[in-house]
Amino acid sequence: MIQVSGLKRSFGNFVAVRNVSFVIEPGKGVTALLGPNGAGKTTTMRMMTGYLQPDSGSVEIAGIRSDSEEGRLAIKSKIGYLPENTPLYPEMLVSEYLEFMGRIRGLDGDVLEQAALRMIEDLELGSHFYSPIGILSRGFRQRVGLAGALIHDPSVIILDEPTGGLDPNQIEQIRALIRKLATERTVLLSTHILQEVEDICERVIIMNGGEVVADQRTNELQRSESIHITLRHPHKTVLQMKSDLESMEMVESAVFAANESGAHESTESAGVQFHIAELQCSGAPEALLARLVQSSYEIRSFYPGHRSLQEIFQELTHQ
């Protein structure tokens, strides 16, 4: 579990992070941490992992608080952290690096051997197991760094751009591994690839200017307040339907489509005319649909609006 409360961090007169708070529970899927460059994401992750001390606020990882040096060291033993610029030793063989990372995590003997074999299998490192890290492609170096972050089977995993430099097949493999890890562990992922967030993240936290500006489940964040609907009422004209719809508590406005001459657009189904409208709603689409059916409306189509994560990101970060 990750619990962040009121984090603040300044560098001189520049406030990089201010009053950042959120809780991420294990087994709840992958949580994405998004934001433009300079939003405070990396600083927040470094405070969470114990590499930076906050000016104020608190961090609790896996039940351990980071308000002491002892606590920060204990947190580092519980997390798997992959920074954006993966720190590696180019002169080491991949086999030596995995052994080194395992030993500094307290692994030894058969436990270390089994952990290394698991990383080789999960990240397909067998073909380069005895290669110097310095001659590997960026994609393979990324996989080696990820293996080093995961070799001790941490309960909390924090990944900064984990698929950077990978080819499409490798990206899908790493995403599948991340999904698997998130079924039992706490996983926080920072990335600039918004499609990656839509594909694998259950929740999105967006930062801008050092603050959290959005924190919602991905599907709820992308849900628009608009609903596109094709409907008719056997006893109401278009104007009466508009008035009736706007009188419903959850409907803020109803606009019926019209052509250039001003006539309301309609579509025919089995000889019956249905009208096309866009509703702006404040309630759940499911509740509105049930209300319309109860009010004797005949519905031919009902499409809740859906915004792309790109649109939402630009709106919240003013890009």
Mean residue pLDDT of the chain comes to 91
Q: What is the mean pLDDT of residues 277-285?
A: 87
Confidence band of 164 (pLDDT split at 50, 70, 90): confident
Confidence band of 97 (pLDDT split at 50, 70, 90): very high
Q: Nearest to residue 174, comparing CAs of 211, 139, 136?
A: 139
C-alpha pair distances (Å), 160 with each of 122, 189, 298: 19, 6, 50
Give the least confident one: 112-121, 154-163, 215-224, 258-267.
258-267
**Is 43 inside any structural domain?**
yes
Tell me, yes or no, whether 46 and 158 share the same domain: yes
Tell me, yes or no, whether 185 and 232 share the same domain: no
Tell me, yes or no, whether 60 and 205 share the same domain: yes
Tell me, yes or no, whether 133 and 200 share the same domain: yes
CATH number at residue 121: 3.40.50.300
CATH number at residue 297: 3.30.70.1340
Percentage, residues of the chain above pLDDT 90: 66
Tell me, yes or no, whether 200 and 251 share the same domain: no
Check pLDDT > 60 for residue 252: yes
Check pLDDT > 80 for residue 271: no
Tell me, yes or no, whether 111 and 203 share the same domain: yes
Tell me, yes or no, whether 184 and 232 share the same domain: no
Tell me, yes or no, whether 173 and 279 share the same domain: no
**Is 220 inside any structural domain?**
no
Two structure tokens written together for 75? 């947190």
Tell me, yes or no, whether 176 and 258 share the same domain: no
Q: What is the mean pLDDT of residues 166-176?
A: 87
Which of 195-209, 222-236, 270-284, 304-318 is modeled with the greatest confidence? 195-209
**Is 302 inside any structural domain?**
yes
pLDDT recorded at residue 67: 85
pLDDT recorded at residue 257: 86
Higher pLDDT, 225 or 1: 1
**Is 75 inside any structural domain?**
yes
Boundary-marking domain end, from 179, 209, 239 = 209
pTM: 0.79
**Is 312 inside any structural domain?**
no
Confidence band of 268 (pLDDT split at 50, 70, 90): confident
Residue numbers of the domain that contains 246: 225-306
Boundary-marking domain end, from 209, 237, 252 = 209
pLDDT recorded at residue 72: 86
Confidence band of 315 (pLDDT split at 50, 70, 90): confident
Which of 91-95, 171-175, 234-238, 310-314 is modeled with the greatest confidence? 91-95
Q: CB of 242 within 8 A of CB of 254?
A: yes
DSSP 159-194: EESTTTT--HHHHHHHHHHHHHHHTTSEEEEE-S-H
Check pLDDT > 80 for residue 14: yes
Check pLDDT > 60 for residue 154: yes
Higher pLDDT, 193 or 297: 297
Confidence band of 265 (pLDDT split at 50, 70, 90): low
Tell me, yes or no, whether 106 and 202 share the same domain: yes
Confidence band of 295 (pLDDT split at 50, 70, 90): very high
Tell me, yes or no, whether 79 and 195 share the same domain: yes
Percentage, residues of the chain above pLDDT 70: 97
Boundary-marking domain end, from 165, 183, 209 = 209
Tell me, yes or no, whether 205 and 229 share the same domain: no
pLDDT recorded at residue 284: 82
Confidence band of 225 (pLDDT split at 50, 70, 90): confident
Domain count, the chain: 2
Q: Nearest to residue 228, comparing CAs of 308, 306, 309?
A: 306
pLDDT recorded at residue 262: 61
**Is 130 inside any structural domain?**
yes
Q: What is the mean pLDDT of residues 184-188?
A: 94
Q: What gap in Å lies between CA 194 and CA 192, rounded to an integer? A: 6
C-alpha pair distances (Å), 213 with each of 19, 107, 210, 259: 11, 40, 9, 39
Radius of gyration of the chain (CA): 26
**Is 115 inside any structural domain?**
yes
pLDDT digits over 23-65, tens only?
A: 999 999 999 999 999 999 999 999 999 889 999 999 999 999 9
Residues 239, 242, 248: CA angle, nearest 5 degrees: 145
